[in-house]
Amino acid sequence: MLNTVKTLEWRGDALRIIDQTRLPTEQVYLDLRTVPEVAEAIKTLRVRGAPAIGIAAAFGVVLGVLAADDPPEALRAAAEQAIEELAATRPTAKNLFWALQRMRRVVEQTANQGKSVLLERLLTEANAILEEDRQACRAMGRHGASLLPDRCTVLTHCNAGALATADYGTAVGVIYAAAQAGKRIRVYADETRPLLQGARLTAWELMQAGIDVTLICDNMAAWVMRTVGIDAVLVGADRIARNGDVANKIGTYNLAVLAHRHGVPFYVVAPLSTFDPEIDSGEEIPIEERSPQEVTHPFGVQIAPEGVKVFNPAFDVTPAELISAIVTERGIVSPPLAEGIRKLLDGNEKS
């Protein structure tokens, strides 16, 4: 088995995370013991990636109840305050709200039984969310690897690896699974401006795992497709609408257009928790806008004129017609995506 990075784990009275803002030059772990600390870590991208922030938020609810008084009313109030604070951190990733809703149901069912019972049930649920993500990533890896030829050059964007999940990754998990199956995989990793998650995180993570990786600037992708030859584009997702439109890190839409132009398969890899059954199309997906400082002063260094206007959406939406397939833990959804997603979600509701 490949050695992947441990993104987060429960330590008895704290959630331990690797501080992703310090990578790749420093490998620093933080122990988060309060809801505000978890919320701050999510907002500032110390922990990031849709599955990972859902898991972190689940443990954040545990921390909120851990600090609460025992009467049922106080426990409910503390849990709800924690859920509201964590839900306000990042609006786009569906996994965040999916995980918090699971924790809310536990509170509603268990708060009357006292603090110790509630804590036990909440911790069990948070650990279940973590373990389900770990297993889902392994399953997605196996399914996705079947789409890749034995000798394969893939292009990635942002970070959809172990750092974005509980263990193995979504899109990068496909790369790991293919490598473990004996396929010869070469990766070109987009740097992913403005926060360089591809350069800082994906390139570092793949090197740690012994995968052949080459870093490129975002604006080199078309030329790489034309001259090097890319066999597949692999990306993750933060929210998927019922029609198959996919919200993912800004720049994903660009790659989908380029892949379509060059005849390159464009694969999205995401767990069922990323699908939003209440949203019909990508037009309804809320797109987070982040601080102008990320563009004008990346990593504290000014690179733009003082006072210049900035537009900094953190995500974009790729239309379903540009997507070759969506890989989930339950299998591969092929076009027409809307029909496949309907069957997938209907089956999930019945299970």
Instruction: Indicate which residues carry an active-site annotation.
Output: 238
Among 185, 255, 256, 265, smallest CA distance to 231 is for 265
**β-strands 15-18, 8-10 pairing:** antiparallel
Tokens of 21: 């803002």
Q: Judge if the upstream peptide bond of residue 298 is cis by omega within 30 degrees of 0.
A: no
User: Of the candidates 22, 12, 274, 18, which has an alpha carbon nearest to the alpha carbon of residue 132?
Assistant: 274
Type and span of the H or E element at 137: helix 115-145
Q: What are phi and psi of 266, to 5 degrees?
A: -120, 110
Residue 271 neighbours by CB under 8 Å, 6+ apart: 51, 95, 133, 136, 137, 140, 170, 328, 329
Strand 239-240 relative to strand 184-190: parallel, antiparallel, unpaired? unpaired
- HEC secondary structure over 197-211: HHHHHHHHHHHHCCC
Alpha carbons 22 and 200: distance in angstroms, whole number: 9
Q: Coil, helix or strand for 110? A: helix
Strands (DSSP E) found in the chain:
8-10, 15-18, 29-32, 151-156, 184-190, 212-216, 232-235, 239-240, 246-249, 266-269, 315-318, 325-328, 331-333
DSSP β-bridge partners for residue 234: 156, 267
Task: Determine the Cα–Cα distance for residues 320 and 240; give it in Å rounded to an integer.
Answer: 10
